[in-house]
Structure 1
Amino acid sequence: MKKASGFEIIAARCWNLLNEGKPFTPIFVVGTFALYHMNQWGEASFWAQFGLGLLAALPLLALYFYYDFPLFLRNYLWLPVVAALVLWRDAPLDLGLYATATLLFLFFTIYFWGTFYYHLRIGTSWWNFKRFWKLVLKNSDSTSGNAQEQLPKFLLLLFVVDVAGRYWADGSASAGDFGWGSYGLFVVGVTVYAFILHRNLFDWKPKEIPNYTVPVQPSEQSGKGKVFVLVIDGMRKDRFEEANAPFLKRWRAEGTEYTQMETLYPARTVVCFSSMFTGTYPREHGITSNMVWKLGIKVESIFDSLRKVGKVGRLLGIAHLIDSMGDDVESVTAVMHNDKADRNIMERAKLIMAEQNPDLLIVQFIATDQTGHSMGALYDEYRQKIEEADALIAEFTAWLTVNGHAEDATFIVCADHGQADGIGGHGHLDEGERYVPFFMHGPNVRQGVKIDAKQSLVSMAPTLSYLLDAPLPSHSRGPVLIDAFEPRPSIKSKKEAEPHAQEEAGRISAGA
């Protein structure tokens, strides 16, 4: 299987400007307004008007970039639209501009993205738009395809760019029209409105663990076997239950399952992987969406921890993950027919084991997630990709056993996030996103155990540190999942743990 080329890595970053909702909004507003007025590009007065309009819209653009409006909060985005129409009811409305913007948005999301893009990238049907339009209308995630969030945003912004630009460019603004004073009060009002909404209604983010991970004494088995983390990207918990996945379900029954394993907010792939393998949250590791503005995580990862003890970890995944994990990623191209993707990834995983023999191998299976994004998570095709992943993991495990890599090995199977309804929706923790499958299997894992206490994926990195007898990553906050192991390891006494915690806190505050 081919690695992601340099061109694909750059293209993936560029695509995220249009894929992620926050950068999409200003790009779409600017592009739509300019395209609609193409016949005026030769007039200096148009560019003066356009510039003033964008200047007026800048505070709202910043507000929409700072605040998420997830799930039902999207409905509140229409109130500023209505308020603007009432406040400036005498302003002439260019209905053609708003109709053009709406049609361009639907064309981009339903045909260009949902059909043309996915056909070229993963081989979906040229008729995918027949299904995709329904997903756009229901989408609840943080991407540009979230119509219920994007429509009120870009309609208000286009109104401001158009009306403010025209009024201020020719000097006709007055206190009763689109004057600086009335508009300034409007911006202040929308800002206070957004603050109150998020302070009082946005209450479903997972609570962060306030302290750093308490070290756990390694057991006699720690560090003796390899660890394999098999991530079925975007696998919904309930759809996994519905799938015919005999191998993974046997592993789950024979091992330890965490039934309330919670993903991160926002539940985006690069965010979740960054948190899983650093043990901390986006505010600390610095990756807050799939659009990575500054490359590289800000804290230590499990790969850094392994290097300290002379061990090697590799992450086999798509080009997006390079933006956070850099050279620790063995990239795979995401430009292939979706029916071949996971098979090719598995063959590449075999090659990595044969050539590099790492102590830790993390494999990202992508076909389930890509099917959800292109066709929806509630269709049969999505469930079938989970079943295909089950068969491939069974085959991969058999190969590892034959080639001597599975002796004393621990296997962790999970998803990075689930998927909601809509365009493979994930990001805002809608139903189907929040809780993910998570279980462990291996000779040192307790058998037939279900743990129902709520846990977080930030426990992945410290648990890997325990299994591989490596130090904790610098900012690790998740507790080691010690309940999964036999014999039960003991937590260091409070007296023993406190010096380490103090030392860790001092090192972090000193910028280590």
Structure 2
Amino acid sequence: MKSASKFEKFAARCWNLLNEGKPFTPIFVFGTMLLFHFHDLKDLSAIHDLFLAFLFVVPLLAIYFIFDFPLFLRNYLWIPFVVFLIIWKEASFPLLLFSAGLYFFFTVFFWGTLYYHLRIGTSWLNFTRFWKLVLKNSDSTSGNAQEQLPKFFLILSVWEMIYQETPSWLDENILKLFSFYTFVLLFAYILHRNLFDWKPAIYHEYTNNAPNPAKAISDKVIVIVIDGMRKERFYEANTPFLDSLKENGTEYMNMETVYPARTVVCFTSMFTGTYPFEHGIQSNMVWKLGIKVESIFDSLRKVGKTGRLLGIAHLVDSMGDDVETVTAVMHNDKADENIIERAKKIMKEQDPDLLVIQLIATDQTGHSRGVLYDEYLQKIEEADAHVQQFVEWLDREGKMKNTTLIICSDHGQADGIGGHGHLDEGERYVPFFLYGPNIAKGKK
């Protein structure tokens, strides 16, 4: 199986600019306005007026960059747009229709159909389902239609109004405009102060310090992270091998992910033992590479042990050279199978004391096809077979004699395009269980 190339790592970072809702909104608004006024760009004075008008919407873009409106908060986003229409009674309906059409073309056809077909082999007819997932998605990504539409309807309307008016109009309305921006800022602040109340409480104390044993409990630890495996869907799936590990090991029934529940954030917290505000990775869009704290891989090096993380290119942004990358550009039916083969190669050639494996097919199916369909259960069941094959291979190689297995997920997945991050139903609680000769059997 190929590693992620330098180009794929670069492309993954670029894609996050379009995937994460905060950078997507200004990029989409700017691109839409340029396309809509493409015929004006031949005139230097029109270009000057267009970009001058853009400067006056920067405060609005900043407000929407600072504040997310996930889950039910997005329902309130139409209020500023309605207030704008009441005050100025202006809206370019051709521009709004053009922007809505461009948005659904990008999400449903470019992203949900072309992108997923080329990257993981989904059907050319994926758009027949993906439009429903975009409308249902509640997380603050670009694929959240109910959050993105009112945002760029308002920004585009303000920008177009200023662009079409004369300089004298701006002189007369500048105070009214910035009073409106003040209203939007206070509105967003009050909403988040009073209604954004579902984040998990932060633990202010660390795990009790138990006495260090004189000898290591296990010779090896292998962590298999089934990315994006929603907990109740896992319980519904037919997974005899994982069920056997779970029932003959120790299962943690209330294991939570962190906030925001993005893959890179979750993996970083899992292998540093800290919160995002401490380790510095706040989303999949990593503005500054690397973490601010010590990782488990750093800790292992201090005592002469080794660890490897086998995963997709995104994880390099936080964990750097401790990641052995796999390409995410392959048919989704082959992804986990190839990852397991790569894991065998690492165990043969490097034999690390800690190996972390990220299985990605379940997550990718959730994003491309939704989590409430049979295809999602099928991918969980395939993951069960891959884990069984790998553990049986480890046993034959003599690498299970004093090894602890940890099976978990980094986050769950919500309805829609398998969105995760802001802890909608199905995101927060994750499967987590341990199995091994020194792990209590049948304990919950």
TM-score category (smaller protein): over 0.9
CA distance in structure 1 between the partners assigned to 2:40 and 2:182 by the alignment: 33
Offset at 1:260? 0.9
The code of the aligned residue for 1:334 comes to: A
CA distance in structure 2 between the partners assigned to 1:34 and 1:7 by the alignment: 28
Offset at 1:53? 2.2
Question: Using a 3 Å threshold, how does the CA distance of structure 1 residues 270 and 301 change in structure 2: closer, same or farther?
Answer: same
Q: Which whole-Å deviations, capped at 9, do the CAs of 1:324-361 have from their partners, x for residues lacking one?
A: 11000000000000000000000000000001110000
Q: Which whole-Å deviations, capped at 9, do the CAs of 1:361-405 have from their partners, x for residues lacking one?
A: 000000000001000001111101100110110110011111121
Alignment of 1:123 with 2:117, yes or no, is no
CA distance in structure 2 between the partners assigned to 1:278 and 1:84 by the alignment: 46
Alignment of 1:190 with 2:187, yes or no, is no
Offset at 1:220? 5.1
Fraction of identical pairs, as percent: 65
Report the counterpart of residue 11 of structure 1 in structure 2. Answer: 11
Report the counterpart of residue 170 of structure 2 in structure 1. Answer: 173
Report the counterpart of residue 28 of structure 2 in structure 1. Answer: 28
CA distance in structure 1 between the partners assigned to 2:47 and 2:270 by the alignment: 47
| From 353, 357, 369, the counterpart of 2:363 | 369
SS of residue paired to 1:172: helix
The code of the aligned residue for 1:260 comes to: N
CA distance in structure 2 between the partners assigned to 1:291 and 1:107 by the alignment: 23
Whether contact under 8 Å (1:338, 1:367) holds in the other structure is yes
| From 424, 435, 445, the counterpart of 2:429 | 435
Offset at 1:187? 1.0
Whether contact under 8 Å (1:229, 1:362) holds in the other structure is yes
CA distance in structure 2 between the partners assigned to 1:251 and 1:98 by the alignment: 54
Offset at 1:221? 5.1
Report the counterpart of residue 49 of structure 1 in structure 2. Answer: 49
Please give the TM-score of this superposition, normalised by the length of structure 2.
Answer: 0.98
Alignment of 1:402 with 2:400, yes or no, is no
CA distance in structure 1 between the partners assigned to 2:239 and 2:217 by the alignment: 30
Offset at 1:219? 3.2
CA distance in structure 1 between the partners assigned to 2:68 and 2:168 by the alignment: 35
Report the counterpart of residue 67 of structure 1 in structure 2. Answer: 67
Whether contact under 8 Å (2:218, 2:404) holds in the other structure is no
The code of the aligned residue for 1:173 comes to: L
Q: Which whole-Å deviations, capped at 9, do the CAs of 1:10-59 have from their partners, x for residues lacking one?
A: 11111111111111000000000000111011112222222222211111
Offset at 1:212? 4.1
SS of residue paired to 1:173: helix
CA distance in structure 2 between the partners assigned to 1:294 and 1:307 by the alignment: 24
Report the counterpart of residue 148 of structure 1 in structure 2. Answer: 146
CA distance in structure 1 between the partners assigned to 2:179 and 2:246 by the alignment: 58
Q: Which runs of 5+ in 2 are unaligned?
A: none
Offset at 1:262? 0.7
Q: CA RMSD in A?
A: 1.2
Q: How does 1:56-135 map to 2 (within 5 A)?
A: 56-89=56-89, 91=90, 93-135=91-133
Whether contact under 8 Å (1:52, 1:161) holds in the other structure is no
Judge which range, 103-112 or 36-45, deviates more: 36-45
Structure 1 stretches of at least 4 aligned residues deviating more than 6 Å after TM superposition: none
Report the counterpart of residue 413 of structure 1 in structure 2. Answer: 407
CA distance in structure 1 between the partners assigned to 2:338 and 2:156 by the alignment: 45
Report the counterpart of residue 357 of structure 1 in structure 2. Answer: 351
Q: How does 1:62-461 map to 2 (within 5 A)?
A: 62-89=62-89, 91=90, 93-167=91-165, 170-173=167-170, 175=172, 179-219=173-213, 222=216, 224-450=218-444
Offset at 1:172? 2.5
SS of residue paired to 1:449: coil
Q: How many residues align?
A: 444
Whether contact under 8 Å (1:221, 1:444) holds in the other structure is no
CA distance in structure 2 between the partners assigned to 1:281 and 1:224 by the alignment: 27
CA distance in structure 1 between the partners assigned to 2:169 and 2:175 by the alignment: 14
Please give the TM-score of this superposition, normalised by the length of structure 1.
Answer: 0.85
CA distance in structure 1 between the partners assigned to 2:411 and 2:218 by the alignment: 30
CA distance in structure 2 between the partners assigned to 1:142 and 1:363 by the alignment: 27
Whether contact under 8 Å (2:18, 2:24) holds in the other structure is yes
Q: Which runs of 5+ in 1 are unaligned?
A: 451-512
Q: Which whole-Å deviations, capped at 9, do the CAs of 1:401-426 have from their partners, x for residues lacking one?
A: 11121121111110101111000111
